[in-house]
Amino acid sequence: MKYVTRLLEGLWGAFAWLVFGVCCLLSLIVVTFVPGLPARRWFVTAAAKAAFVCSGVRVKVTGLENLPPGHSVVVANHASYVDGPLLKGFLPARFSMVIKGELRNVAIAHFLLRRAGQRFVERNAQVESTRDAREIVRAAKEGLSLGFFPEGTFREGPGVGRFRPGAFVAAARGGMPLVPVAIHGTRDMLPMSHILPRPRRLHIEILEPIGPDDPAFSNARALAEVARQRILAALGEPDLLESRD
């Protein structure tokens, strides 16, 4: 029975990748020829959501009422490659995800994401990292809604690590509410060591926003820690900073 289950999961995983590939191909065609950024954003958001729906993945979204009607900055825990498409598909289309700069080296992915209005930030090269950070802060000041995975990477085991300050600097300087989001289930669906995803239920839990009038907004690191603790409490996972002490 165990082998039958693995076979069925493997077949589903291959099917899920096929659906995702078709959605990416359609998105690539649309962003190439559609001139307006709002229309491209809407279609890519719809395509990302369709990748989950058409694969039969059940995604529960709670706390949508916590998203401010205007622009805001969303920060979420990072556990899997699934996280980016998941948030892109189930957050409003106005959100631009901030993506690691290494994807600039993948020509097709870079073209698709850039044309869909996503932003890139270099994590390693100092000059490029500073330039990207300035551009993201400028975008926040102009009122662009942004989505971040402030851990910057993910790992095999459960837990939430240190948050990088970029998202919180952008929120503070842009004067925009910061919305913590807890993503449940993606690590189990597609762990770091797996190629094929497994059929799992996913849950996006949108937590109460932290407004610009909160005292934590005066310090990016304090704001990061407030958001991190809220996400930790929602996930019930280990605090990886405590485990280092």
- The matching CATH number, chosen from 3.40.1130, 2.40.50, 1.20.120, 3.40.50, for 2-244 is 3.40.1130
CB 114 within 8 A of CB 165: no
Is the pTM for the entire model greater than 0.85? yes
Residues ≥6 apart with Cβ < 8 Å to 19: 51, 54, 55
Residues 113-170 have pLDDT tens digits of 889 888 887 665 444 555 666 788 787 777 788 999 999 888 888 999 999 888 898 8
Residue type, 229: Q
Mean pLDDT of all residues belonging to the chain:
89
Would you kindly state where each structural domain of the chain is located, as residue ranges? 2-244
